Chain A
Amino acid sequence: MSKIREYTISNCEKNFLLKCLKDQTRLDGRAFDEFRNIEIEFGKDYGCCCVSLGQTRVLAQVTCEIQVPKSSRPSEGILNINIELNPIAAPNFEPTSKNDLFTQLNRTLEKCLKDSKAVDLESLCIKMSEKVWALRVDVNVLNHEGNILDCASIAALSALHHFRRPDVTCDGEDFIIHKYSQRDPIPIVIHHYPVCITYSIFERGEFILADPTLLEEGVADAFLTVGMNSYKELCGLHLGGKAELNPDILIQITQKAGNRAGIVVEQIKKAVKEENEKRLEDKSIGFHNKLCSTKNIDFEDLETCFDQWRIAPKRKHKDTEKNMIGETVEEQIQTENFSVKIEKKGSQSAVLVPEEFEEVGRVWGDSDEDEDAVVEIPKKIQTVSLLDSDSEEESTIVLNANSQTKKMEEITI
C-alpha cells in the first residue's frame, strides 16, 4: 500500500502567514493569545466524551476492568492512556504505524495525567496485590485541524471525570461486581485537573500564538506545551523544535497558561455537572440530540445568508412568512444598506447581520418609546409590506419614517 505523504506547506502559504503575523493578525482572525471554542459533549455511556476545539475533534472513552496490580505497586490501580491516530483524522495518519507524533502525543498526555498523580490510583484497589481496577482511556482523533494535544487532554480529563465504575463488595471470599441498576456506580477520585495548553513559536520567539491551527503548526519553529492544573501547578512541560528561546519568554508564557488552565478546567467541571444533572432528571442524553439540532439551524442560516445577497427577493408563501417574520424584516432592511457584519450563531455557522440594523434598533431604544414598542415594530412592518406593492424601498421608507413621526399606529389600524 502506498503511503500518502503529509501535506507540504508551500512557500507562498508560509510567507503569507508570517507576513500576516507581522501585521499582528492571524489567518482565522483570532488574537495571538486567543483560543478556539471548546465544546464538550457526552455520550450515553459513562466516560464517553467528544470534545471539539474549533474544527479539531476528538472522542474519548474510558473503560475499566479488573486486573492483577503491578508487583512494584501492589495497592495501586492502573491507568493507561492511549491516543489513536486514524486515517479519519488526516490522510497521512496510518492506523498501525507508530510515528513520532503518535509517541509524542501519548507521552505528553501520559506525563500530564499520570505522572502528575491526578487520578487517585489507590482508591481503585480492590484487594492488595490481587485485584485492582485498570482504567483505560482511549482517545480517538476524529479530525485534525491542529492542536490535537490540547483537545485530547480536555477529552481525556472530561471522560475520566464523567466516568463511573461499578461498585464492588466483598463477602468473605467472593467479590461481587454490582450492575449499574443494582447499586449506584462510583465516580473516579481526581485530585486535581491538569490540562495541556499549547503555544507555537514563530521567528525565534518573536511571535507566540496560542492554540495553533494545522497550517500554523506546519509553519511554526517550535512548540511549548504546558500541562497545568487550576491551582497553577505545572504538570509537565515540553518545549521542542528548532527555535531558541529566552528563559524570560518561557516564564511569561507559563504564567499566561495558568489563567487559561483555570478557565478550561472550570468549563470541564461545568459540562460534567450539567450532564450529571441531565441524567438525574432523565432528560435525553447522547450525541444524537446535538447532531439533529445543529442541522436545522444550519439550514435556516443558510437560507437567510442567500436571501441577503438577492437583489430582488422573491415573495414567499404566507406560511413560511409567518414562521420567519423576524427574518423577513431583516431582509428588507438589508436591501437598503449593504454594509453587513458577520455575527456568530450556532456551532459552525455565521449569520450576516447588517450593521445599520442594530443601530436603528438602538436609536429606537434610546427614544422615549417603551421597550415594548420596539419589540412590536417587526410585526407592524410585516403588515405594511404585505399591503404594499412589491418594491422594497417604499416599505423601508415607511419604516424610517415611523421611527421619527409616530404615525405608524394609524397606518396599521
Chain B
Amino acid sequence: MSRNRELISNIGLRLDGRRALELRRIRCKLGLFSEPDGSAYIEQGLTKVLAAVYGPHQVRGNRSKAQHDCAIVNCQFSMAVFSTGERKRRPRGDRKSTEMSIHLHQALIAAIKVELYPWSQIDVYVEVLHADGGIYPACVNAATLALIDAGIPLKEYLCACTASLASNDIPMIDISHQEEIMGGPTLTVAALPMSGKVVLLEMSQRFHVDHLPKVLDKALKGCIDIKNILDEAVKNNVREIGSSTGWASST
C-alpha cells in the first residue's frame, strides 16, 4: 500500500507531472501507407503503435470459416523486438500476444458493422513500436483510425482507455508503464463513447468492488476525451485529402 501512495503526490500530481484525470499527449496520423486499404499511426505519450487494415476481401486460407451473415475479422497483434527496455524476440504465438489479439478481435467485432459484408474478411494488423504502458488502448485506437481510413463502416468511434486507483481512492486514467510496474490495479475499458456502451472490460490485480463504479466512470470519460481527439484528427485528414483534390476551393 505504501508503494501505492507514491503514485500521486500531495499536491495531486503524478510521476510524470500529470493530474489524475489527464491523458498523455495523443498524436495520430491516418493513411500512412499505400499498400493496405487503411493505415494509421498513433502516439499516446511514448507508446507508439502502427495499424494496417486490409479488406473487406474474399476469405483467405480456410474457406470454411466464412460466415453467411457477417464478415470475419482477423486481428494480429505483434510487438517489435525493440519496443521494450529489454531487447527480446517475441514470437507471435506466445500467450500474451494471442490474448491481445483475441481482445482486439472482441472489441472490433462489436464496433464494425460486420453484417454488411457477408462471406468476406477484414484483416487488422497492429504493431507496437514502443511500449510505454497502455498498449491495448493504443492498439484499439490505432485500429479504429485505420478502419476509418479504409472506409469500413463502424457503428461509432471505438476508443479504449486505462484507469487505475491511487492511494486507494483517487481514480486516475491513462496509466504509463512506470505506474503499471509500481503496482496498483489496472482497468482497461474499450467503449463506444457516443452511446456510452462498454464493449470490453479487462482488469488485473485487485481492488474492492465498491471502487469499480468511479474508476469505470473515469475510464469512460477518458474514452470520450480520446474520441474527441481522434475525431479532430479524422476531420483534419478528410480536409487535407479534400483540399488536395480541389474539393475545398469548389465550395
Residues of A within 8 A of B (CB): 5, 98, 100, 103-104, 106-107, 111, 115-117, 194, 224, 228-229, 231-247, 250-251, 254-255, 258
Contact = CB atoms under 8 A, between A and B. Distances in A.
B98 A98 contact: yes
- Give me the 3 closest cross-chain CB pairs, A-B, nearest first: A244-B197, A237-B203, A239-B201
Q: Which of A100, A233, A238, A240 has the most CB of B within 10 A?
A: A240
Interface stretch (B9-17, B212-220, B229-237): B212-220
Given A234-B209, A234-B212, A251-B213, A240 B103 contact: yes
Binding site of A, secondary structure by majority: helix, strand, loop or mixed? mixed
Given A103-B98, A246-B197, A254-B212, A98 B109 contact: no
28 contacts: A5-B64, A100-B102, A104-B102, A107-B95, A115-B205, A116-B205, A117-B206, A228-B209, A233-B206, A234-B203, A234-B206, A234-B208, A235-B205, A235-B206, A236-B204, A237-B187, A239-B200, A240-B102, A241-B110, A244-B110, A244-B192, A245-B199, A247-B198, A247-B220, A250-B198, A251-B213, A251-B216, A254-B212
A100 B101 CA distance: 9
Contacts of A250: 198, 201, 216
B20 to A, nearest CB: 19
A244 B199 contact: yes
B196 interface: yes
A393 B217 CA distance: 70
Q: Which of A232, A244, A250 has the most CB of B within 10 A?
A: A244
Given A233-B207, A234-B208, A239 B95 contact: no
Interface residues of B, number: 36
Nearest to A248: B213
B213 A100 contact: no
B10 to A, nearest CB: 27
Contacts of A111: 204
Contact of A238 (B93, B196, B201, B208): B201
Given A107-B99, A251-B216, A234 B207 contact: yes
Given A103-B98, A107-B95, A237 B202 contact: yes
Nearest to B185: A234
Contact of B95 (A106, A116, A194, A255): A106
Interface string B174-192: 0000000000010100001
